[in-house]
Amino acid sequence: MLDLRSHVARIVTSANQLAPAAGDLPVPRAADSMAASWRRCMDGYRFDPGAKFRIEAVSDAELKRQCEANDELIHYARPEIDALFGAVSVSGFSISLGNVEGYIITERANYHPDYYSEVERPGTAWAEPSAGTNAIGTCLVERRPVGVLTNDHFFYEFSALSCASAPLFGPDAELIGAINISIRNPELQRETLKVVLGLSSSLADRIGERMFRQAFRRCFILKFAIGAVDHGLIAVDGDFQLVGLNHAARDMLRDRIQLARVRSLWAVFERDHRLADLSRLGGTELTLHLQKGGDAISVSLSGPLEPAATTAGAGPRFTAAPDAAPPAGEARPRPAPAPAALPPRAAPRVLTLDDCAGGDARMAANVRLVRRVLGGSLPILLLGETGVGKDAFARAIHEESPRRAAPFVAFNCASVPDTLIDSELFGYGSGAFTGARREGSTGRLVEADGGTLFLDEIGDMPVSQQTRLLHVLESGEVTPLGAGKPRRVDLQVIAATNQNLEAQVARGQFRQDLYYRLAGAVIDIPALRARTDRRALIEQVLAGLDAGRGLTLSAEALALLMAHDWPGNVRELRHALNRAVHLCEGTVLGPQDIAIRPAFTAAGLAARPVLPAAAAAFGLPGEAGEGGLAVAEAAAEAGSARHAIACAEREAIVATLARCGGNVKAAASALQLSRATLYRKLQRYRIIP
């Protein structure tokens, strides 16, 4: 294990050597991937490898909420974790489960004082923007297995730890978390960590398979090996129609077929007469050949776990793009209900434009405008506060357009690191840069060809990428990185933002020509508090969460909901009602079931002085005025030092946002936080920039 000086020198030197030449991309997946992560920590998150660091942790109540939100994942992961724990615990290793946000939500630990570290307890935050380079956080960023040995951690405080994490993907290939095997042992050898990383990857593969088989329990499942520990899984119905593919199968078949448009198994494999009657072939091992003279693959076929009158109705048809990672805030429907041991979960119904309009006059006018421009390629720009439903409105536009049979591809410009937007959006050719996939990547623009591309949080797109996007919109051609030949695309582009783009144009943070190119039809979606059909919306959301219980709102509960100003809009409403549904013991929701937090907005709190603690923490001027005393008194009443610190941090963020005119990027820079960390804190404190 290195000393502090050597640790810092190694990280800074390696990260600086990775500095790309003009036009190149940093390496996300090569042997020097660790250096790429260190560079993200230094340039993207503004971390100092020599600084003192303390891991963040949520409260017990918040940990309980997160566990409840991930109950299905925990349900399937726990038996597999228990089965492996006995083998690894004798050597001092512990196994933990992290959710997609990087928080550890459960563990099986070897609590021996020589091997266990309290910093890895449940509730701790290990997302890379929160804790620097570490196995869980870096695994979630790069969506691949990652081993981090002692001084590979960005912060020196973690240099006694070693950990190996593998990503967990749900039945619909959505990233849902990470499995982690770790130990506190400064003398651990890299060869040992490689073995542990294999165990972690195999464990993640088994958990994913359990979830996939349960989700498609009425289907026939084809299983085949991909690499040493990963397995591809394909679910088909009795008519050989594709119903689902897991993450590994999608990765393998990405360039063979346009998965969003394929329905038949025989579009993937050459037809085999032995599979004429699937019902007689449960447990069969056979060899299938990929279409067009492809490789032979050894496949095991298993029958449905649960008989049904017809297997064709086992789940929604597979329609997702092969490698489309869901952006923040974009929910993708589950392919089937949850297991019998858990309450069934119905896939959310896709809203129509009329559903989005409701009874509000402004929304009705918006829908009329959208319908007048549907059918062409005129870009549509959606404006509105966070949580108003811009993503749902965009999908409703696609579903009513002539392009509805083609892909709807969503890309969140704020959820992808600046250095990776180019490759994710525009794609790259084979060998475009060191560490690139050998087969290249099509990119989101090409995936959406013929359909709709939804660019969420467009205001957060770097100016350098805005130039390339403008070229695509004007020429209709995409040139992937490292591929000289452009490809024509036909797209309906829908962009969305909660920022003031005109103000960003004036500050030079958004290209004026791109703004006018995107603003073909501008739709301003009103906040929930401004909608005239607020009561109907409340009842509509409750009906969607009811699950057949016949729940109603008491007059007092309805009055409470109607009086709230909903800074988080429909998203906040849905969360509040979902919690109330779970707490309600009868069929009438009362005010005691409704938990609504006060709104903390820049407009409402900017005038309050910053507490001295916050000023010291963030380098801001502050004074102990009446506002500060009020918060301090509230903290004393709460009886929690953590609460006092949170209040101070919240006020520092609010004051900085006000000083920066509501610009999140500028505020993050002033606070020396990454945008990802600041967005997480905005959500935590319910601050609307």
Burial (0-12, 13-18, 19+ Cβ within 10 Å), 265: buried
The string of pLDDT tens digits covering residues 368-391 is 999 988 877 789 999 999 889 999
Sorted by sequence, the CB contacts under 8 Å of residue 136 that are 6+ apart come out as 96, 98, 102, 104, 126, 127, 163, 165, 178, 180
Candidate ranges 17-31, 119-133, 321-335; pick with highest mean pLDDT: 119-133
Name the one residue in this structure whose structure tokens are 């929930």. Answer: 528
Residue range 467-484, pLDDT digits in tens: 888 988 888 888 877 666
Residue 417 pLDDT grade (very low, low, confident, very high; cuts 50, 70, 90): low
The beta-strand segments (E) located in 401-555 are 408-412, 452-456, 477-478, 487-488, 492-497, 521-524, 552-553
pLDDT in tens, 543-573: 888 767 788 899 888 988 998 888 889 988 9
Residue that has been written with the tokens 């297991």 in this structure = 339
Note the pLDDT of residue 604: 39
Please give the class, per CATH, of domain 528-593. mainly alpha
Cα–Cα distance measured from residue 134 to residue 37, given in angstroms and rounded to the nearest whole number: 9
> Tokens 């007059």 sit at which residue?
555
**Of the CATH numbers 3.30.450.40, 3.30.360.10, 3.40.309.10, 3.60.110.10, which one belongs to the domain with range 60-202?**
3.30.450.40
Tell me, what's the pLDDT at 22?
A: 36
Residue at 57: amino acid letter:
A
CATH 3.30.450.40 domain residues, the chain: 60-202
| Residues forming CATH 1.10.8.60 domain(s) in the chain | 528-593
At residue 464, the pLDDT reads 79
Closest-CA residue to 176 (of 120, 118, 225, 215):
215
pLDDT band at 597 (very low <50, low <70, confident <90, very high): low
Sign, Cα dihedral of 481, 485, 487, 493 = positive
pLDDT of residue 591 exceeding 80, the answer is yes
Name the most confidently modeled range: 363-372, 419-428, 456-465, 671-680. Answer: 363-372
Looking at the chain, the domain(s) classified CATH 3.40.50.300 span 353-524
Please give the single-letter amino acid code of residue 212.
F
Q: Give Cα 89 to chain centroid, integer Å.
A: 31
- Which residues does 281 contact at the CB level (< 8 Å), separation at least 6? 274, 275, 301, 303
pLDDT at 483: 64
Across residues 24-34, what is the average pLDDT?
50
424 vs 167, residue with greater confidence: 167
* Residue 398, pLDDT above cutoff 50: yes
pLDDT digits (tens, 9 = 90+) for 485-518: 788 888 899 999 998 898 889 888 899 999 999 9
CATH of domain 353-524: 3.40.50.300
User: What pLDDT, in 10s, does the model give residues 341-358?
Assistant: 334 444 455 688 998 998
Neighbours of 111 (CB within 10 A): 9
Can you tell me the distance from the alpha carbon of 296 to that of 566, in angstroms, rounded to the nearest whole number?
57
262-308 pLDDT, tens digit per residue, is 577 887 888 776 666 666 665 667 788 887 666 788 888 888 887 64
Number of CB atoms found within 10 A of residue 120's CB: 24
User: What angle is formed at CA 531 by the lines to CA 527 and CA 532, rounded to 5 degrees?
Assistant: 170
CA distances (Å), 468 to each of 22, 24, 30, 174, 465, in order? 15, 14, 26, 28, 5
Q: In whole angstroms, give the CA distance from residue 436 to residue 455.
A: 24
604-633 pLDDT, tens per residue?
333 333 333 333 333 333 333 333 323 333
Tokens 């050894």 sit on residue: 298
pLDDT tens digits for range 67-102: 988 988 999 999 999 989 888 888 899 999 999 999
Nearest of 174, 168, 164 to residue 209 by alpha carbon: 168
Contact 493, 518 (CB under 8 A): yes
Burial-class residue 101 by CB neighbours within 10 Å (0-12, 13-18, 19+): middle
The H-or-E segment that residue 615 falls in is helix 612-618
SS3 content of the chain, % helix, strand, coil (to 5): 45, 15, 40
Mean pLDDT of all residues in the chain?
78
Rounded to whole angstroms, the Cα distance separating 688 from 394 reads 22
Phi, psi of 223 (to 5 degrees): -120, 135
- Picking from 578, 647, 577, the residue whose alpha carbon sits closest to that of residue 609 is 647
Orientation angle between helical segments 641-659 and 626-638, nearest 10 degrees: 150
Please say whether the beta carbons of 664 and 675 come within 8 A.
yes
Residue 643 has pLDDT above 80, yes or no: no
